[in-house]
């Protein structure tokens, strides 16, 4: 049976999504946090900082036009998701990324490229709060079940190599804890996940977890 959402032309679906206060109001807050993070970095921004702003702006656009969910997580899962998304805005490089060695820069660029590919694959199924907007199985999702988190982790590992300050370690450690909790709870929401879990064994890092 075709749902009412699927029956609408794609253009009307996107326009309807853009007009929803539940999409646009959080997006305004997100936009503020993205540019606040850029402002907390050195000027002109490093390649990594510029890439992070571009990635988050893309994610913001996908968030605004995301599909309606057939099932949404609890309030606790929502708090975990929002906290896990925005805790990184507390990072501050104090210009140190400009002087970063080649290795941290390459690690961050690799993380950003994988992150971008994962976002593009997810498309309008993207969201912050755990919800069922359709299960994606192609692209990077053939290899790990949560490639966005995997490449975010790679990016932040490169960030730690470039800016190994106590602040960076604390913020990224909190981010890691939140993402693990987020992943575990998120997997309970998606329909058809049991079969997908059998097909793709690893959540984030092959042969580890």
178 vs 160: CA distance, rounded Å: 18
Please check whether residue 63 is in contact with residue 127, taking contact to mean a CB–CB distance below 8 angstroms: yes
Domain ranges of the chain: 4-199
Query: By the 8 A CB rule, do 109 and 50 touch?
Result: no
| Cβ neighbours for 35, distance < 8 A, ≥ 6 positions apart | 53
Regarding the domain delimited by 4-199, which CATH topology (the fold level of the hierarchy) does it fall under? 1.20.120
Q: What does the alpha-carbon distance between residue 105 and residue 154 come to, in Å, rounded to a whole number?
A: 11
For the chain, 209 residues long, the average pLDDT of each consecutive 10-residue run is: 49 54 60 68 69 78 75 78 80 67 87 91 81 85 93 92 89 93 84 85 90
Per the CB < 8 A criterion, the answer to whether 122 and 146 are in contact is: no
Q: What integer pLDDT is reported at residue 113 of this predicted model? A: 92
pTM of the complete model: 0.79
The predicted pLDDT at position 189 comes to 80
**pLDDT at site 24:** 61
pLDDT at 2: 41
What pLDDT, on a 0 to 100 scale, did the predictor assign at position 1? 39
């Amino acid at each position: 049976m075709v749902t009412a959402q699927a029956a609408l032309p794609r253009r009307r679906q996107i326009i309807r999504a853009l007009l929803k206060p539940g999409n646009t109001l959080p997006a305004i807050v997100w936009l503020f946090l993205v540019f606040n993070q850029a402002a907390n970095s050195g000027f002109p921004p490093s390649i990594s900082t510029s890439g992070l702003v571009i990635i988050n702006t893309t994610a913001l656009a996908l968030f605004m036009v995301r599909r309606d969910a057939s099932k949404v997580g609890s309030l606790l899962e929502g708090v975990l998701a929002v906290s896990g998304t925005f805790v990184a805005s507390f990072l501050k490089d104090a210009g140190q990324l400009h002087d970063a060695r080649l290795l941290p820069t390459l690690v961050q660029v690799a993380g950003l490229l994988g992150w971008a590919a994962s976002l593009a694959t997810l498309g309008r199924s993207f969201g912050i709060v755990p919800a069922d907007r359709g299960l994606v199985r192609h692209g990077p999702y053939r290899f790990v079940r949560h490639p966005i988190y995997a490449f975010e982790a790679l990016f932040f590992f490169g960030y730690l190599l470039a800016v190994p300050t106590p602040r960076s370690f604390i913020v990224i450690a909190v981010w890691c804890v939140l993402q693990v909790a987020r992943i575990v709870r998120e997997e309970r929401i998606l329909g058809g996940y049991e079969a997908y879990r059998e097909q793709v064994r690893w959540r984030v890092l092959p042969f580890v977890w």
